[in-house]
Amino acid sequence: MICPDIRRQRLIIEGFYELQTMDEHCVRNFLAGLTDHLGMTRIAETLVFSPDAVSDLHHGVGGFQAWAESGCSLYTWSASRFFTLDVYSCKAFDVARCVDFVCTQFNAQSFEVREV
């Protein structure tokens, strides 16, 4: 392992959300809730974005939350109601607790989890 003295934990959750809407407000609230739920330290305002106006490949809304411990990124695809969440941290976090929070918030019944 390269640089073993730096602790790193990465989790990717992908699935289908069953919310009525996935908009900027929803993404902002989700990332704030996840930050608190995992006990991370917010160091910047949440970045929320949508490539809709400039992309033929990706339509949806996404966001990034920077943490003192690292950060997380969320991407959604509105047509398929699909999401990808990438969580990266130098501080240990409980994977099962994170997955439970995500699936509850997104009402996700179909999802996959990968620890990298």
Q: What is the pLDDT of residues 64-75, one digit of tens each?
A: 999 999 999 999
CB 102 within 8 A of CB 17: no
Q: What is the pLDDT of residues 18-28, one digit of tens each?
A: 998 999 999 99
How far are the Cα atoms of 13, 40, 66 from residue 57, in angstroms, in the given order? 21, 32, 26
Which domains are seen in the chain, by residue range? 9-115 (3.60.90.10)
Query: So what's the pLDDT on residue 55?
Result: 80
Tell me, yes or no, if the pTM score tops 0.85.
yes
**Angle, vertex CA 62, rays to CA 103 and CA 110, nearest 5:** 25
CA 105, CA 63: separation in Å to the nearest integer? 15
What beta strand segments (E) does 17-69 contain?
47-49, 62-67
Q: What is the pLDDT of residues 59-108, one digit of tens each?
A: 999 999 999 999 999 999 999 999 999 999 999 999 999 999 999 999 99
Q: Are strands 9-16 and 62-67 parallel, antiparallel or unpaired?
A: unpaired
